[in-house]
Amino acid sequence: MALTIETFSNKVGGFSTFKALGHPLAVEPSQRLLARLQQAGPVALYDPLGMAEAVNAIYDLSGLDLCGLYVQDVETVGETRVGLAAQPVTDIAASGAKAVLLTAFEADRLADQMRHLLPAGAELITLDEVRIPQTMQTNPGRYLDNLNWATNFAFFRDADGHHTRLVTANYWGGYGAESVAVWCCLFDDAGEVLAQWREPLGAANGTFAIDSREVRERFGLGPFTGQLFLHVIGAAGHDIVKYALDTYGDDASVLSCTHDANAWPSDLYAGLPAPDAGETVVLWVQNSHPAPIPKGAVGLNRMGRGEIVWLEEEVPAFGSYALDVAALLPDLAWPEQIEIQAGKHFVRPRYEIAKADGRLRISHPNVERVDLKPDPKIPDLANLMGKGYILPAPILPPGAYDSLALPTPMATCQQDLPTAAILYDRAGQEIGRHIFGRLPRDHAALLDLGALARDGGLAADAYGHAELVYDFRDGGEADGWLHGLFRYTDRRSGHAAETSFGAHMFNHVLTYRNEPQSYAGRAPGLSTRLFLRIGPAGYDAFCHLVYPASTEWKAESETVLTLTDRDGRPVAEERVAIPCGGSFRFTQRGLFSADACATAGDAGYILIRDVTCRLFGYHGLMAGPDGAESFSLDHMFGF
């Protein structure tokens, strides 16, 4: 039941066709076009670019009286598309069609090439009739240019004392874009549009924030839980819409942070945790398309096991469904892991965990890749690349927090995970090591990082970090897509937070398969530009920076932390030196003066910049002194 659409390739990046077809502003003209074709009589499809399957996946052409499908490339003759055997377009005159749908945008040239072949009296119609307005296009001269489709979705809620705040920066302005704006469309859980609006993003590298309370007041809305669609107009440099998303409440029991949804729907997601004792885990299935998700199209299974339990509920177009994991998989418990059969129906989803005491937190699983194969070269890289792939994660002060690590399979080819964890104090000194061994795909091997760090001499009020790395002493295979889930619990309040991410190579001049990764330009990426949002009012932002290195790099970082206002103007600056292999933890109000924080306001941010090394960062918010009431945590984004 997976949608037959192309969304993303690690060789060429994202595909824009499905975004163009499924854009909220393309829905109404597409429905008018379908109604017109239904009335026309027999319809032939001319599919020179192979887009018919995507059109059918999103708009369901089964209601049309289809009389044939025709192609231009003779090597595709005989292929089955939309349930029809492809025929050469030179035969279309015999189709008996009253209308021909040319499944392409910017189709004038394609239409002119075959217009003389049309059946007598047949009308030729192209997808140009369903284009979104030109004012929404960054590059009107090339409709499917990826910069025209800088879009994303975000979980968005304002109900029952729960609020949502999305923050990003106008990093497109930093790449030379002018007059950047964002068009917003808010959907409720039934997929109905609650509000649409357009806002300028302001100064280059300035912040942009959308708070659910303000949206609700502006548009006079009642309580809602749904999703916010974002379309950036005038983008440059990046077609990826990155953001930080905070969920917070009227009291400290609701607090979490996560980040952008990864705007390309995937076949599979993994790293969804089974519920712990006294917990409820809800997976938010939020439809990314204008076609309903049919019954039996989304499923869950225990990671590494083949028995899939399917959701027997339909999810409306752009709608949201709260799937109680235990309703489908009642016998699973933390730290068992769940695989999500998503069928490209939605972007990277959110899951929400409710504890017995009413505390709530939200996090996300990750894209499980279907295109990877084991790389036999990785075990032999140690002589050149040292530790190679590294997945760094904080160890919070063990006197107050529990810090747990769970390696997570994140590719269909991963039948085992040869993994180890190395623990470091803030100065970069190794304080512990745990050999997971050759973990099977269905493992539930949880590591208590805090306990291991204490055994290694880490003081109760100190901090450090852990690195998941490959370890081949027991054999096994690797593909470079090493992932882990990290869970943190404050023993004072009982509040928890979790985050998951994948490994990269860090701070090495040699490159391997585009690693060390670079945000801009070719590998290696050896500098840092991270975005730390601050606010909302009443919370203190914190950050845990890690300086990982696959081999020895510069002894200390030269990190500049710049507090800015909402327009990206510097307010105050601090410089820190992080030891190679070490980490640095700070709070906004602990690092900058009260006057500087007041000048920056709640809509500013902290730019973390280092031109000498690549840092990896985690951020969050704290409520109460030193986060004693609640806290949140997730990895940061850069630009």
DSSP 376-424: TTGGG-HHHHTT-SEEEEEE--TTTEEEEEEEE--BTT-SEEEEEEEEE
Both 340 and 305 in one domain: the answer is: yes
The answer to whether the Cα torsion of 290, 292, 296, 299 is positive or negative is positive
pLDDT tens, position by position, 477-496: 999 999 999 999 999 999 99
Query: How much is the average pLDDT of 353-380?
Result: 96
Nearest to 502 by CA among 516, 514, 485: 485
- Based on the fold, state whether residues 168 and 27 are members of the same structural domain: no
95-116 as b/e: b if 16+ CB within 10 A = bebbbbbbbbbebeebbeebee
Cα radius of gyration rounded to whole Å, the chain = 26
Assess whether pLDDT exceeds 70 at residue 470.
yes
343 and 474 in one domain?
no
Query: In the predicted model, what is the mean pLDDT of the chain?
Result: 96
Query: E strands of 449-521, at which residues?
Result: 464-470, 483-490, 496-502
Residue 233 makes CB contacts below 8 A (sequence gap 6+) with 135, 136, 137, 138, 150, 180, 181, 182, 183, 198
Poorest-confidence range of 41-50, 197-206, 571-580? 197-206
The per-residue b/e assignment along 533-554, b for 16 or more CB within 10 angstroms, e otherwise, is: bbbbeebbbbbbbbbbbbbebe
CA-CA distance, 377 to 285, in Å (whole number)?
A: 38
Q: Exposed (0-12), middle (13-18) or buried (19+): which is 9, by Cβ within 10 Å?
A: exposed
DSSP character at residue 133:
P
Same domain, 205 and 67: no
What burial class does residue 247 get, using C-beta atoms within 10 Å of its C-beta: 0-12 exposed, 13-18 middle, 19+ buried?
buried
Give yes or no for residue 19 having a pLDDT over 80: yes
Query: 322-338: per-residue pLDDT in tens?
Result: 999 999 999 999 999 99
User: Residue 48 — very low, low, confident or very high, per pLDDT cuts 50/70/90?
Assistant: very high
Same domain, yes or no: 360 and 382: no
- Is residue 506 within 8 A of residue 468, CB to CB? The reply is no
How confident is the model over 102-109, as a mean pLDDT?
97
Task: Specify whether 348 is located in the same domain as 383.
Answer: no
Q: Report d(CA 372, CA 375) in Å as an integer.
A: 9
Number of structural domains, the chain? Answer: 3
Cα–Cα distance, 511 to 517 (Å, whole number)? 9
In angstroms, the CA 215 to CA 114 distance is 50
Mean pLDDT confidence for 496-523:
93
| Residue 11 pLDDT greater than 70, yes or no | no
d(C-alpha 168, C-alpha 351), whole Å: 21
Mention every residue, 6+ apart, whose C-beta is less than 8 A from residue 377.
Answer: none
Q: Which of 130, 158, 178 is the last residue of a domain?
A: 130
Greater model confidence, 399 or 261 = 399
From 317, 367, 266, 284, select the one nearest 58 (Cα to Cα): 317
Q: Is residue 282 part of a domain?
A: yes
How far apart, in Å, are the Cα atoms of 441 and each of 271, 365, 367, 413?
12, 16, 16, 10
Question: For the ranges 276-290, 361-375, 622-636, which has the lowest average pLDDT?
Answer: 622-636
Question: Rounded mean pLDDT of 606-616?
Answer: 97
Task: Give the integer Cα–Cα distance in Å for 589 and 448.
Answer: 30
How far from chain centre, in Å, is Cα 368? 12
153 domain residue, yes or no: yes
Checking if the pLDDT of 339 tops 70, the result is: yes
Spatial contact of 337 and 273, defined as CB atoms under 8 Å apart: yes
Region 107-120 average pLDDT = 97
In this structure, are 505 and 597 located in the same domain? yes
Please report whether residue 1 resides in a domain: no
Task: Choose the final residue of a domain: 130, 157, 177.
Answer: 130
Where does the pLDDT of residue 261 fall: very low under 50, low under 70, confident under 90, or very high at 90 and above?
confident
How many C-alpha atoms does 348 have within 13 Å on its Cβ side? 23
20-42: pLDDT as tens digits: 999 999 999 999 999 999 999 99
pLDDT given for residue 536 in this prediction: 79
* 199 burial via Cβ count (<10 Å: 0-12, 13-18, 19+): exposed
Residue 506 and residue 484 in one domain: yes
Confidence of residue 12 (pLDDT cuts 50, 70, 90): low
Whether 503 is in a domain gets the answer yes
User: On the CB side of 194, how many CA atoms lie within 13 Å of its CA?
Assistant: 27
Across residues 406-426, what is the average pLDDT? Answer: 98
The answer on 468 and 358 residing in a single domain is no
Q: Identify whether the C-beta of residue 337 lies closer than 8 Å to the C-beta of residue 270.
A: yes
Q: Please identify which residue in the block is written with the tokens 């510069």.
A: 554
Does the pTM exceed 0.85? yes
Whichever domain contains 22, its CATH number is 3.40.50
Q: What is the pLDDT of residue 447?
A: 98
Mean pLDDT score, 515-537? 90
Query: What is d(CA 414, CA 189) in angstroms, rounded to the nearest whole number?
Result: 35
Mean pLDDT to the nearest integer, 345-354:
97
Q: Are 223 and 319 contained in the same domain?
A: yes
Share of the chain above pLDDT 90, in %: 93
Please give the backbone phi and psi of residue 57, each rounded to the nearest 5 degrees, phi first: -65, -35
> Between the CA atoms of 270, 272, 274 and 275, what dihedral angle is there, to the nearest 10 degrees?
180
Tell me how far CA of residue 289 lies from CA of 18, 55, 134, 469, 573, in angstroms: 9, 12, 21, 37, 44
**Which of these three, 130, 164, 186, is where a domain ends?**
130
Contact (CB, 8 A) for 202 and 233: no
Judge whether residue 122 has pLDDT over 90: yes
Q: Which domain holds residue 18?
A: 8-130
Q: 585, 465 in Cβ contact below 8 A?
A: no
* Residues 384 and 288 both lie in one domain: no
Sign of CA dihedral 331, 335, 336, 338: positive
User: DSSP code of 93?
Assistant: G
Are residues 396 and 622 in contact, defined by beta-carbon separation less than 8 angstroms? no
Residue 8 in this model has a pLDDT that exceeds 80: no
293 with 386, same domain: the answer is no
- Both structure tokens of 69: 């499908």
Answer whether residue 138 is part of any domain: no
Question: Residue 140 domain-assigned?
Answer: no
Q: Is the pLDDT of residue 382 over 70?
A: yes
pLDDT of amino acid 537: 80
The C-alpha atoms of residue 545 and residue 540 are separated, in whole angstroms, by 16
pLDDT at 498: 97
Distance CA 345, CA 315 (A): 10
The pLDDT, as a whole number, for residue 310 is 98
Higher per-residue confidence, 294 vs 536: 294
